[in-house]
Amino acid sequence: MLSAAFVILSLLSASLATAVQRRAPDVSTRGFVALGQASQEATVPLTFGLPMADRDGLHATLMDVSDPASPNYGKYLSKSEAEKFSAPPAESVTAVKDWLSKNNLTAVVGKSGNSLRVNLPVHQANALLNANYTKYEHKATGTQVLRTLSYSLPAEVQQHLSYVYPTTHASKVQERASVPASCANQTTPACLQALYNIPATPATAPTNNLYVAGYLDEIANVSEVQALGTRYRPDITNPTFKIVSIDNGVTSGKGTVEASLDIDYTVLLATDVPVTFASVGLASVDGFLDLNNYLLGLDDPPYVLTTSYGFYEYAFNNDQDIANALCDGYMQLSVRGTSVLYSSGDGGVSGAQSSSCPDNKFVATFPSGCPYVTSVGGTTGISPEVGVDFSSGGFSNIFPRPSYQDSAVQSYLTNLGSTYSGLYNTSGRGFPDVAAQGTNFVVNVAGQLFLVGGTSASSPTFASIVALANDHLLNAGKPVLGFLNPLLYSGDAAAVFNDITSGNNPGCGTDGFSASTGWDPITGLGTVDFERLLTYADSL
């Protein structure tokens, strides 16, 4: 059933003779079943990713402006400055446009300039890409997608395209909030303020902002946030937020669990920081790419972006170009001054959710494994605060360990010795980077109060700390925190953390990793104290 299938059309066969072929033999292992041939007139919205003119230059610039020891620290790039590195080379644009126009197609340039878009009926997409678009259904959710098990690109455009989507990659976005649990203990905004020294004083910098990403038709509802605020943050005058809709994302309705959690613990924690809920209508990688394109197209992208959704990294094993494209988008945002935060996942060492592990090996999550995001793990308890068992952490199989975390991660691995040898990738990017509380958050969902847990709670909490620190920095005429990792891992920042040294994250039939002094793959460097972060940021 999963053998390669080709539709060779005479018109294109000459160039296909030299084409490299791509196959994805394992769509079914990710919970998708083939429903049969797609209707020939159904639309495939194709995105052609274009390479950056100078990716190495962009990376070097990002490391320079994010290194507290550099004279260029905080000198983030404007849109046009960043695009000098990230815009595609002219010859790539020309080659791809020529190829498309030879096929009577005109593509629209995406907002970030790094992609071309064209909507094609299935029969035409099949001809163009030597593909066989088939209808697949995600078993658990019933979501239907069009994918092909193989496709080809003619030689003349191969090196000019970084990815083509959707083709062989199919994966389901994993939501991080776990089901409401009945529990005597509750995490409220006041608990987090006390625990992390987060001020209740309203932020005042008019240009400050914090974006909360929403996928999977999750709804954030203003009046519900206000009702929770009346009870738990009566000192906030008019808690509110804006909604932007991308790809026809939902903008009204009763609140749902994940979005309510994410919006409650930004609006009611980052007091008076302007918050925007970005509701993205496409619930797969395409939605993530589109949000990046949207944000990169803004003259002033957000200072903080928090996302509590993600993927199992192995879903990208055969489609690393797609993972790289998303990760490079986060590099582009970072160089403009955005702190990109992701929850690490809720399955301990088994990945996004508690689940079985392919080959019994530990499972990394994505985008947490991308070196340009700050991944936030979870903790529980107050005294002591410990790593919570569901907090995902580990090592990427796609992204190598970035230099900023080399020494911190190497120390952990040295202490770990041969334990779990072969179950994780010793050279991969280690995650999470930091942690925050992740259990029993009081949330208003559709008018009712629930206790909700997950690293989904941790990322908005940490995002609020960063946004409030940015407020102080903006008012002092200083640069915002931007890409956090080089700063957080620099030895000088050690004082900002509460080092979490107990807890472990079981999965894959093991006890998982254990928290320990310094960095560990369950709580990262630890939880962040706002006052100490501010003292450190002020000293830069």
Ligand X SMILES: *[C@@H]1O[C@H](CO)[C@@H](O)[C@H](O)[C@H]1NC(C)=O
Query: Which residue positions form the known binding site for Ca(2+)?
Result: 499-500, 518, 520
| Whether the Cβ atoms of residue 255 and residue 227 lie closer than 8 Å to each other | no
CA dihedral 523, 525, 526, 531 (to 10 degrees): -150
Instruction: Find the shortest distance in angstroms from Cβ 482 to ligand X.
Output: 25
14 binds ligand X (CB under 6 A): no
Enumerate residues 6+ apart whose C-beta is below 8 A from 102.
none
CB atoms within 10 A of CB 287: 21
263 exposure class (CB count in 10 Å sphere: 0-12, 13-18, 19+)? buried
| Whether the Cβ atoms of residue 171 and residue 30 lie closer than 8 Å to each other | yes
Angle, vertex CA 460, rays to CA 457 and CA 462, nearest 5: 105
Helix (H) or strand (E) holding 56: helix 55-66
Binding-site string for ligand X from residue 325 to residue 364, where x marks contact by CB under 6 A and - marks none:
----------------------------------------
449 binds ligand X (CB under 6 A): no
Q: Where are the alpha helices (DSSP H) in 449-523?
A: 455-475, 485-489
User: Of the residues 83, 218, 262, 286, which is catalytic?
Assistant: 262
Structure tokens at 510: 């093991």
Structure tokens at 192: 């987090």
Nearest to 326 by CA among 313, 336, 308: 313
Q: Where are the alpha helices (DSSP H) in 336-454?
A: 406-416
Instruction: Find the shortest distance in angstroms from Cβ 9 to ligand X.
Output: 9
> Among 428, 432, 486, 507, which residue interacts with ligand X (rule: CB under 6 A)?
428
Instruction: Find the shortest distance in angstroms from Cβ 121 to ligand X.
Output: 12
Q: How far apart are CA 472 and CA 470, in angstroms?
A: 5
> Among 25, 297, 447, 509, which residue interacts with ligand X (rule: CB under 6 A)?
447
Q: Which of residues 504-533 bind ligand X (CB under 6 A)?
A: none
How many binding residues for ligand X (CB under 6 A)? Answer: 25
By beta-carbon proximity to ligand X, the closer residue of 147 and 472 is 147
427 binds ligand X (CB under 6 A): yes
Among all chains, which residue has been given the structure tokens 């678009």? 133
Q: How far apart are CA 118 and CA 99, in angstroms?
A: 13
Indicate the SS3 state at residue 291: helix
Bridge partners of 44, per DSSP, are: 120
By beta-carbon proximity to ligand X, the closer residue of 7 and 109 is 7
Q: How far apart are CA 444 and CA 264, in angstroms?
A: 8
> Among 31, 34, 81, 411, which residue interacts with ligand X (rule: CB under 6 A)?
34
> Among 344, 425, 437, 505, which residue interacts with ligand X (rule: CB under 6 A)?
425
380 binds ligand X (CB under 6 A): no
Instruction: Find the shortest distance in angstroms from Cβ 102 to ligand X.
Output: 7
By beta-carbon proximity to ligand X, the closer residue of 219 and 269 is 219
The answer to whether residue 456 is catalytic is: yes
Enumerate residues 6+ apart whose C-beta is below 8 A from 350.
356, 357, 362, 363, 507, 508
Binding-site string for ligand X from residue 208 to residue 247, where x marks contact by CB under 6 A and - marks none:
-------------x-xx-----------------------
Q: How far apart are CA 155 and CA 508, in angstroms?
A: 42
Q: How far apart are CA 125 and CA 463, in angstroms?
A: 41
> Among 297, 400, 422, 509, which residue interacts with ligand X (rule: CB under 6 A)?
400
> Among 39, 159, 185, 356, which residue interacts with ligand X (rule: CB under 6 A)?
185
Which of the ranges 93-101, 110-118, 422-430, 498-506 carries the binding residues for ligand X, by CB under 6 A?
A: 422-430
Instruction: Find the shortest distance in angstroms from Cβ 54 to ligand X.
Output: 23
Which amino acid is located at 148 in the chain? T
403 binds ligand X (CB under 6 A): no
User: Of the residues 83, 218, 224, 258, which is catalytic?
Assistant: 258
Instruction: Find the shortest distance in angstroms from Cβ 248 to ligand X.
Output: 16
By beta-carbon proximity to ligand X, the closer residue of 364 and 376 is 364
The answer to whether residue 218 is catalytic is: no
414 exposure class (CB count in 10 Å sphere: 0-12, 13-18, 19+)? exposed
Which of the ranges 34-42, 278-286, 385-393, 484-492 carries the binding residues for ligand X, by CB under 6 A?
A: 34-42
> Among 254, 356, 419, 509, which residue interacts with ligand X (rule: CB under 6 A)?
254
Binding-site string for ligand X from residue 71 to residue 110, where x marks contact by CB under 6 A and - marks none:
--------------------------------xx------
> Among 152, 307, 397, 527, which residue interacts with ligand X (rule: CB under 6 A)?
397
| Whether the Cβ atoms of residue 464 and residue 273 lie closer than 8 Å to each other | yes
184 binds ligand X (CB under 6 A): yes
Report CA torsion sign: 186, 188, 192, 195.
negative
The answer to whether residue 217 is catalytic is: no
Q: How far apart are CA 68 and CA 519, in angstroms?
A: 20
By beta-carbon proximity to ligand X, the closer residue of 29 and 204 is 29
5 binds ligand X (CB under 6 A): yes
Structure tokens at 289: 């790419």
Q: How far apart are CA 476 and CA 257, in angstroms?
A: 37
Q: Which of residues 99-158 bind ligand X (CB under 6 A)?
A: 103-104, 132, 134
Bridge partners of 428, per DSSP, are: 400
Instruction: Find the shortest distance in angstroms from Cβ 71 to ligand X.
Output: 31
Instruction: Find the shortest distance in angstroms from Cβ 84 to ligand X.
Output: 29
Instruction: Find the shortest distance in angstroms from Cβ 134 to ligand X.
Output: 4
Active site residues: 258, 262, 456
**Which residues contribute to the site for ligand X (CB under 6 A)?**
5, 7, 11, 34, 36-37, 103-104, 132, 134, 184-185, 221, 223-224, 252-254, 397, 400, 425, 427-428, 446-447
